[in-house]
Amino acid sequence: MEKVRRKPRLKSGHWFVILALAPIIILYAVLRFIPIVQTMYISFFEWDLISAHKPFVWLDNFKELFSSDTFIQSIRNTSLIAFGVLIFSVPFAVIIAAMLDRGVRFKSWFESLYFLPYIMPMVPVAVAWRWILDSNHGLLNYFLSFFGVPAQAWLIDTNLAIFSVVMLTVWKMVGYNMIIFLVGMKGISKENYEAASIDGATGIKAFWHITLPLLKPITVFVSTVTLIQGYNVFSQVYILASDIQGAPGHLVRVLVYDMIESGFRFYKMGYAAAEAVILFLIVLVLTALQLMLLRDKKTSRKGMKR
Amino acid sequence: MRTKKMILAAFIGVLTIAMLLTGCGNKSGESSTGSDSSKSVKLSFWTGYSELDPWVKKAAEDFKKTNPNVTIEVTSYPLRDFEKKLAASLPSKSAADIVTMNHSLSYRYIDANLLQQAPDNVGQFAHSGAFPDLYVKNLGPDGKTYGLPVFKNANAIFYNKDMFNEAGLTEPPKSIDQFLEYAQKLAKSDASGNLVRSGQSLRISGGGSGVTEKFWILLAQRGGSIIKEVSPGKYKANYNTEEGYQTLKMYVDMLFKYHTDDAKIKHDTEAFQTGATAFFLRESNVVIDTAAKAPNLNYGTAPLAANVEQQDNFYVTTADKDKQEMAWKFLQFLMEPESQKNLMTMTGWLPVRKDLDLKDVFVKYPQFEAFFPAHQDAQMYPSLPEYDEIQTKLADRLMTKGYTDASFVDNPQKIKDFLDECAKETNEILKKSGDLAE
């Protein structure tokens, strides 16, 4: 008997789901998807923000990007900051989380204390850090003077300015990463530690051989998010090191800053769009890398609580 | 039950869309239209100079006395943010009705019909001889009038008289050749050899194109410029020259060879007002700022042999005829002698009108006199849309290498190579805009 093919019909439940999701899908499309596609489109044009003449230039904007010292410097600075933040904030967060996980007094108080910078808005925080890092009257130089360290030009010296941005970002990010690690640590079954202690692995050994391997999915997630946020660095650089007299100007030129300047200062929206596409590709690769690592078969969930 | 759910979902959907659409509404309700002159007109005014705020507000209040139907809302922003705000708001028709803008930036907007041409009476006033020719030609392309000048932006030497006396210097430096010698005599270090007071405070940091502008002013003292018009409308970089070399060498010597200035110490106006520098070059607004912040500072000003002048104009953006009429009327009101004098005494910026009697202002603020020398070579910002990019990118290079590389000391070739490299970038920007002289 021949099978009768039925026309797929949407049930009322389906319509409810579609209607309920429609606003957020429309919002996502308008605010995210369409701008991304539009940005890619603009990147192939010499798109002056004001002029009506916008010739199609194919890949010229990208060619110009990679021959521009400013762009190369922006990529270099952004990568230095992103990886600098990653290198410092993830290990610090693991260490702090491990210490708090061992059960210290006033644990919740410490958790709040470390998490507080993360929820504070970046602008006032960066303004406060400008004062801390001031080479003449800054708190940091005052503190270092007790150890015989001469006053440093934190926001003026090229390398120190980048380090200052890393320092501020790590300070702000570490609380968030700590909370994620703390949740991960809570998920590790005590049986693993008990079994390890029978084999003589306690303290640092247990941390190294039990905690860290079982935290791998969390570590990959935290590292990727930190790296992506690092590549999007802007506000702290803008406040600490740009457009303000007395700040080091463009020593800490980063990708997002360069993009804004190209688009809204030099009116080169096509060029700025090409920069945005590069940033998009970087973030896309990092996200793909995260998904790949999370799918790694070696990553075991056996030790996690069910 | 199912019908209820459907109705609820549809209601939520409609509500969300309605909320989204509400946000997209235009602001036409705010402006009044029609030709009746007694109808209330609300004008908005944006500027990137916060110092202008009280002056424009006072003028708006005075203007309201004779034009009670006109209300003017004044808002100021930090300059660089303001320029970006204009770039985003003018094409989307959401900018204020009146804005201030550098004349070199304005040409882009005039080409795109985003700024309104002044009515005939305003054009006639602009060309009546009230303003210097140097400024009149920058009010719009082809002799047309699109704006009225905001203020004259010129520099002079600010020097601390007490510090000069202490160093045995009886008068301010007369030429750039004396700057280094003076700086050496005036710089002060503590017992550990750390510089605590710069001789001359150089502009070696800061955002935007200001760093290049200050370099340009020193370069201009030697007859140089950032770009040079080789043939009508065609330019090329002009600082990879002997004048440019001497100028950068002076920076390098002051920073690294004789250490009369240091990136670590305070700079600019704040340094001058707090005694952290003996002299520096700055615009006239420092006079009023110092009167407020350091009223007891014993200082004087001296004219420069050459100056770089920057012209910002007032522009009208609104397409609404009633608003346009009132906006131009208000701008003419700002140009009246009394208001122009207020500009000077309230903000420190110099009026562009050349037919003003400023004797009483000079009595109160003698430091202003140095900004009106009898003879001075003046260079004006060129009317090139890409000039800001040229200056900003040169500033970038100066800050990241020119003013930070100590190996430039006694190394003329290295300085010249650096300037050639910068000039290459300048010429590339000019070429891309079709303005390079081949």
Counting the structural domains of chain B, the total is: 2
B121 and B137 co-located in one domain: yes
Q: Are residues B148 and B174 in the same domain?
A: no
Final residue in a domain of this structure, among B323, B342, B371: B371
* Portion of chain A with pLDDT greater than 90, in percent: 50
For residue B259, being part of any structural domain is answered with yes
Q: In this predicted structure, what is the pLDDT of residue A252? A: 79
Residue A295 has pLDDT above 90, yes or no: no
- Homologous superfamily (CATH) of A67-294 is MetI-like (1.10.3720.10)
pLDDT per position as a tens digit, B216-226: 999 999 999 99
Task: Label each residue of chain A as H, E or C.
Answer: CCCCCCCCCCCHHHHHHHHHHHHHHHHHHHHHHHHHHHHHHHCCECCECCCCCCCECCCHHHHHHHCCHHHHHHHHHHHHHHHHHHHHHHHHHHHHHHHHHCCCCCHHHHHHHHHHHHHCCHHHHHHHHHHHCCCCCCHHHHHHHCCCCCCCCCCCCHHHHHHHHHHHHHHHHHHHHHHHHHHHHHCECHHHHHHHHHCCCCHHHHHHHHHHHHCHHHHHHHHHHHHHHHHCCCHHHHHHHCCCECECCCCCCCHHHHHHHHHHHCCEHHHHHHHHHHHHHHHHHHHHHHHHHHCCCCCCCCCECC
Note the maximum CA span of chain B: 96
C-beta separation of B125 from B134 below 8 A: no
A to B CB pairs, distance under 8 Å = 120
User: In which band, very low, low, confident or very high, does the pLDDT at B28 lie, cut at 50, 70 and 90?
Assistant: very low
- Tens digit of pLDDT for each residue in B299-321? 999 999 999 988 899 999 999 99
Shared domain for B359 and B384, answered yes or no, is no
Residues of chain A with pLDDT > 70, as a percent, come to 91
Question: What's the pLDDT band for B11 if we cut at 50, 70, 90?
Answer: low
Give domain status of residue B29, yes or no.
Answer: no
Q: What is the pLDDT of residues B159-188, one digit of tens each?
A: 999 999 999 999 999 999 999 999 999 999
Residue B396 confidence class, pLDDT cut points 50, 70, 90: confident
User: Which residues from B are below 8 Å from A57, CB to CB?
Assistant: none
**For position B29, what pLDDT does the model report?**
39
pLDDT of B147 reads 96
Contact A179, A111 (CB under 8 A): yes
Cβ pair B267, B199 in contact under 8 A: no
Q: Which domain holds residue B61?
A: 39-154+310-371
For residue range A3-46, list pLDDT tens digits in order: 566 667 778 888 899 999 999 999 999 999 999 999 999 999 99
Q: What is the pLDDT of residues A127-176, one digit of tens each?
A: 899 889 987 788 999 999 899 888 888 887 778 889 999 999 999 999 99
**Are the Cβ atoms of B396 and A253 closer than 8 angstroms?**
yes
pLDDT number for residue B33: 41
Chain B environment of A22 (Cβ under 8 Å) = 13
* Triad B182, B185, B186: Cα angle to 5°: 85
Q: Does A78 touch chain B (CB under 8 A)?
A: no
Residue B289: the pLDDT is 93
Give the best residue of A16, A46, A47, A50 to mutate against chain B (max B CB count within 10 A).
A50
Q: Which residues of B touch A130 (CB under 8 A)?
A: none
- Write the secondary structure of B30-91 as one string of H (helix), E (strand) and C (coil): HCCCCCCCCCCEEEEEEECCCCHHHHHHHHHHHHHHHCCCEEEEEEECCHHHHHHHHHHHCC
* Mean pLDDT within A104-122: 90
Specify the CATH number for the domain of residue B112: 3.40.190.10
Choose between A296 and B52: higher pLDDT.
B52
Residues B331, B354: one domain? yes
Tokens 């300037």, residue located: B419
Domain membership flag for residue B18 = no
Give per-residue pLDDT as tens, B354-364: 989 999 999 99
Does residue B165 form part of some domain? no
Residue A113, pLDDT above cutoff 50 = yes
CA distance linking residue B344 with residue A162, whole number of Å: 41
Are residues A81 and A169 in contact, defined by beta-carbon separation less than 8 angstroms? yes
B48 and B183, same domain (yes or no):
no
Q: Determine the pLDDT at residue A192.
A: 84
Flag whether pLDDT at A245 surpasses 50. no
End residue of a domain, out of B354, B371, B388: B371
Which residues 155-184 in chain A show a CB within 8 A of chain B?
Answer: 156-158
| pLDDT tier at B242, thresholds 50, 70, 90 | very high
What per-residue confidence (pLDDT) applies to B22? 45
Is B14 inside any structural domain? no
Helix (H) or strand (E) holding B357: none
Interface probe, candidates A237, A243, A251, A256, chain B, greatest B C-beta count within 10 A: A243
* Domain regions of chain A by residue span: 67-294
Q: According to DSSP H, which parts of B90-186 are helical?
A: 103-111, 120-126, 133-136, 161-166, 179-186
- For residue B205, being part of any structural domain is answered with yes
Please, what is the end-to-end C-alpha distance for chain B in angstroms? 79
Put simply, the answer to whether A251 touches B12 (Cβ < 8 Å) is no
B35: pLDDT confidence band, cut at 50, 70 and 90?
Answer: very low
Give me Rg for the CA atoms of chain B.
Answer: 25
Tell me if B205 and A249 make a contact (CB, 8 A cut-off): yes
What's the pLDDT band for A194 if we cut at 50, 70, 90? confident
Domain assignment present for residue B303? The answer is no
The pLDDT of residue A154: 85
